[in-house]
Structure 1
Amino acid sequence: MGDRSAFGRIGAVCGVAVVLIGALIVVSLGSASSAWAVDSTAKSEDGSITLHRLWGDIALDTMREISRQAFPGASSNAVLVTSGGYWDALSASSLAGALDAPVIMTDTDSLSPQALSEIKRLKVGSVYICGGTAAVSRATESQLKSAVPGITIHRASGPDAVGTSIDCAGKTRSVQKQKGEAASDTCIIATVDGYWDALSASPLSYATGAPIFLSSESGLSNEALAAIGKGGYRKALVCGGTAALSDNVEVQLKKVGVTEVTRQAGEDAYVTSARVAGFSMRNANMMVDGMGVATAHGYWDAVAGAALCGSRNSVLVLADDGYTDALDTTFFSHRDLIGSVYVFGGSAAVGDSVWNLMKQDHKY
């Protein structure tokens, strides 16, 4: 199907994906009377690699389990995003990385108990909400203030997801300046019309502070271009093929002063995730040890998982039953460098066939 990245093979299985995502919305986001989470572990056949499956009854439980693994102690800050849509969450990683913070999900109209329990456990004093009140409502914000007296709440938002990505980039820079840290000279461009490519780049965004600017297929908005030009970014990583982001994006970037534009794309979202991981390893010294694996049939687990990977300077790839191409060039090609792997979500998300494949000494 050509160099389509976020579309590609995902498009070929869109019937299955829509059914599965619909099921996940009901199962993963609905309330459960006795929700629980678990870290399932296994060893590879030769005993050299430990596989961790972080999962729970619903997506918010999985998020909580990932947060506990990534931040076993306290965290002064947290980034809060909605579980009701992927758009604003795609921009959260650079801000979370600048804050050394987990990405925590909540319901839109009320504060989820999983989010509250994590914020209390971590002893969070400051929360940054990514998205406007349509994403995380005023009522949710008020519940948080009531439940955690004295907590400080900031909001990074815009009139739409593109605007939120611009504001997240600006707040990332502000946090870095407050901490006396150098800002990244690199920005990341991903489509606003799908979550796959941005999530694959999110660990890199977290680890390096390179913000993710969202774009339509035809090109970046004038506001985004102004922010990129004003930010002085000299390098850009474009994630996804020309069906996701047209060649015009590269032309636009060069016009606002970006001198080095690199595109990483594959024939589908899985291969794109592997190529983004490879770019991250080559250019940011990110590792395959501690890498993450998430499904392409939903964004919830990867949103939280990207923060775990980014905090440990590790990459994340997408894999599903029958779609394990990304494991060839990450997991199996660098197996001797890996001591542990994190699989995000239960077997309804990342299937047992993927889990069992990764336990093998090599891909048969």
Structure 2
Amino acid sequence: MRPRRRSVSSRVRIVMTRRCGWRRTSLCRRAASALCRQRSRRPARPLVDSISVAGLAGYVDAPILLTATGSLHGGVADFIEDYGVGTVYVLGGTAAVSDATVTAIEGLSSEPTVTRIAGDDRYATAAAIASMIDAVSSWCDTDAASAVLINGATDMMPFGVAAQTVAYRLQLPVLMTAGDELSDATAEYITANDIEHVQIVGGTGAVSADVASALTTLGVDTVARVEGDSAAAVSVALAGLANDGCGDDLGLVSSDRVALVRGNPDGVVAAAVLASSLAGGYLVTPLVVGDTLPAWVRGCLAATPRNIGADRLNLGVVAVGGTAAVSEATMEAAPDAASSTDALTVRIGAATDTSRDGAINADDPVRPDTATAGTATAISATASPATGPVLSLCFSDAVTATDNVDRVRDVVEVNGIAAVVVNAAGNAGSVCDQSRIDVTLGQTLSAGDVISVDGSSIKLGTSADQRSFGSATATVTAPARDRVRPTISIVGIAGAATARSTFEIAFGDNVALAGTALLANDEVRIVGGPGGTSPAPAVSVAHEPGASAAVATVSRPLRPGDRLIVDPGAVEDGSGNQSAGTSGSAIRAQASPRINQVLMSDLKHTAHATWTVPTGSVAGVGGTGAGITIRAKGDGDAAGAAGNGWSMVFDRASTYSADKPLDIGVSVDPKGKRVTVRFNNGPATATLGDLIAALNGDDKFAALFSAGSPAALWRLPTMRPVLCWAWSRLATWLRASATPVAPSSPSR
């Protein structure tokens, strides 16, 4: 067995081939590759020479650049000079890259050494390129000297593109043949280099069975195929091989990112990037697409697991080239086809209930620092906890692990400048709000300031489920001028069995009375009812500053018709609005009291009944738990007060088997106000998403409730019963007997 070896160059090398096509989009990587773009004045010609370059590029650890036949593109020249490229390999004869172009390269300031690799035809050129790989390379899971064989016909180039990334990583020679006959140059290379294994790319429609037989006749020990009747099918097969069966040979393979590539040439130049630098050393598998997303690729993406072990998978899709190569429609169809977890999203809101809807979330507009308190918040980074204006970053999933919070500091900006962040903390409230990070700023906020976050450079999540997130902005807005006057209602009862001498006074406001608001004795007076005597009785008021109720005591029992008068401007609210003049008369006691007025507190509340699911019910959630929220539907039988008193029961079937597919049963008993969740089989593989899907998939449950993450239900009205569960990492199984779970806080 011949040992493998890898060349390590002391100077940057580069492989150059002819640019082809009407338009190519730039694709660059840091000190790695560049794809020139300009319009050619002649129709596109196939890049047959470049299709064999991946193995050599991997061997010399070089990027692949494209240029026009007769001239050196300026962007390519800049790249060679900027990165001090010392060696350039030019692929093909003068019909591919002219001598003038070679001369232009040699004349660059970095003075690179230029070596042309060419043969009499495309097959001979491929063999000549393969001969430059001075090492023994082996196909996946073999120790044999190996080579990749593709159909060299122009219309079969996409098959070769599918194999480029693997060939680059394994440093494999890529040879070409005619579809039904083994080319002489290829046969000579195989014989001269003692090739023991040949991996054919494509089905017999690409490379015939006769060619495979000819390889065996030459003395090749093993001949195998990557089956597929299209380039898309072959790329899917190679992606599967990279993730299962070839991982030990390929090294690091990305499990959370794929690339969409068109046929030649974008997929050729992308090989170096996808095999090395795009994902930090992890190989990104390419999937070949056409004008639309092929069925093979769609099926591959649909088979993407939602979880890798205990961690949720967020699949990243990268398109190589511009929209002429991979259209926007194809790009958008890819993530839609995938079944992986949605990417994280973020919204910016206030850390207090500025919208007054009973909940703190991203629907709360961020206000200027003085809008709510009247004076600026004291800023102190040394206080414990730090003080300053606070805003909330509301994510679509749980992110409140300590390391996530620390990273958030780096991505918050105010007016395009890095914000002064004195503290960032995961929400310390309900376990249902693990998706919120509160950020304390060391600077004031004024109306018109723009707060922004951009998560493209960091990843957040729970456990090892680290996902990037998009950008979000929010503008600091001053609240609308409050012009609503405080209201005053007065109730007095005369002629009761037990004589009464007091008027009850209630104050109402859309915000609240000012903390110093006080109803004084000189702001009220009483006018006696019919039959009364003069002078009018005296009255005194008992009122605590800012309180919502007061009592006016009259110096005698009330009589029907006694009228208490409150002067205009007697009290004011926090916005400075003063009350109007008001009066109320004492009424005769009634055998059947009548309701004159109803005053209600806030109609929406943040406190709801909460439950804790027994440990071990689902996997994939960190020790701090994650929230799942269930709300009663407004048009269902559990709406309003009818939703109180419901209980949840979690149990495991006596016939449960961990080896059988996941089966979660849900039953709803409206009469007994009980929902039972039974894990029939496979709960070790259950995830939060599986449980939510099982709940929402039950018709009876869906008629009464909706289940989801807290972020997903933020926009629903909050005046409905809410059941919230905290989830923890799988540690122990549920007991075989039914386990009713009692509420940990009273229903509302």
Distance in 2 (alpha carbons) for counterparts of 1:25 and 1:267: 26
Q: Determine helix, strand or coil for the equivalent of 1:133.
A: coil
User: Where do residues 39-54 of structure 1 align in structure 2 (5 Å cutoff)?
Assistant: none
Tell me whether 1:325 sits opposite 2:292 in the alignment.
no
1:195-210 matches, within 5 Å, as 195-210=157-172
Compared CA separation, residues 317 and 116, structure 1 to 2 (3 A)? same
Query: How far does residue 349 in structure 1 lie from its aligned partner after superposition?
Result: 1.6
Contact 1:319 1:325 in 2 (8 A): no
CA offsets 1:103-132 (integer angstroms, 9 cap, x no match): 100001100112112212222110111111
Q: Matches of 2:85 and 2:315 in 1, distance apart?
A: 31
1:302 to 260, 267, 279: 267
SS for the counterpart of 1:226 is: helix
Query: Aligned pair in 2 of structure 1 residues 310, 184: CA closer, same or farther (>3 Å)?
Result: farther
Query: Aligned partners of 1:306 and 1:252: how far apart in 2?
Result: 30
Q: Cα RMSD between the aligned structures?
A: 2.9
TM-score (structure 1 length as normaliser): 0.72
- Superposition pairs of residues 1-364 of structure 1, within 5 angstroms: 25-26=21-22, 28=23, 59=24, 61-62=25-26, 65=27, 67-68=28-29, 72-73=30-31, 84-173=45-134, 185-193=145-153, 194-285=156-247, 286=250, 287-289=253-255, 290-296=257-263, 299-311=264-276, 312-328=282-298, 330-335=300-305, 336=307, 340-360=316-336, 362=338
Partners of 2:208 and 2:301 in 1: CA distance: 30
CA distance in 2, matches of 1:84, 1:108: 11
- Per the TM alignment, residue 330 of structure 1 is displaced from its structure 2 partner at its CA by 4.1
Q: CA deviation at 1:200?
A: 0.4
Q: Pick 1 or 2: higher relative contact order, CA cutoff 8 A, min separation 6.
A: 1
What one-letter code is carried by the residue in structure 2 that aligns with 1:323? L
Unpaired segments of 5 or more residues in structure 1?
A: 1-23, 29-58, 178-182
SS at structure 2 position matched to 1:262: strand
Contact between 1:239 and 1:276, CA under 8 Å: does it hold in 2? no
Query: Offset of 1:350 from its aligned partner?
Result: 0.8
Paired residues, what number? 292
- TM-superposed CA distance for 1:133, in Å, is 1.3
Deviation at residue 148 of structure 1 after TM alignment: 3.3
Question: Residue 236 of structure 1 aligns to which amino acid in structure 2?
Answer: V
- The question of whether the paired residues in 2 share the 8 Å contact of 1:74 and 1:123 is answered with no
Amino acid at match of 2:191: G
**Which residue of the partner structure matches residue 579 of structure 2?**
none
Contact 1:161 1:192 in 2 (8 A): yes
| Identical amino acids, percent of aligned pairs | 24
Read off the aligned partner of 2:294 and give its amino acid letter.
T
Q: In the alignment, which residue of structure 2 is the partner of 1:39?
A: none
Q: Distance in 1 between matches of 2:144 and 2:81?
A: 31
Query: What secondary structure sits across from 1:214 in the alignment?
Result: strand
Deviation at 1:96, TM superposition (A): 0.4
Instruction: Encode CA deviations 1:160-218: one digit per residue, 9 max, x unaligned.
Output: 110110011100126x79xxxxx972211101112111110011110001111000012
The one-letter amino acid paired with 1:308 is V
Counterpart residue type for residue 271 of structure 1: A
Residues 121-162 of structure 1 deviation map (CA, whole Å, 9 limit, x = unaligned): 222110111111111110000011112352111121101110
Other structure's SS at 2:120 match = coil
Are the equivalent residues in 2 in contact too, given 1:87–1:161 (CA < 8 A)? yes
**Which AA in structure 1 matches 2:286?**
L
Scaled by the length of structure 2, what TM-score is found? 0.36
What letter matches 1:192 in structure 2? G
Q: Which amino acid aligns with 1:344?
A: V
CA contact (8 A) 1:95 1:169 kept: yes
Unaligned runs of 5+ in 2: 1-19, 138-142, 277-281, 308-312, 341-748
More strand by share: 2
DSSP 3-state at the match of 1:195: helix
Which residue of structure 2 lines up, in the alignment, with residue 17 of structure 1? none
Shift of the 197–246 alpha-carbon distance from structure 1 to 2, 3 Å rule, reads same
Separation (CA, whole Å) in 1 of partners of 2:199 and 2:117 = 23
Contact 2:58 2:168 in 1 (8 A): yes
Residue pair 2:59, 2:168 contacting (<8 A) in 1 also = yes
Cα deviation for residue 358 of structure 1 reads 2.6
Once the two structures are TM-superposed, the CA of residue 288 in structure 1 deviates from its matched residue by 4.6
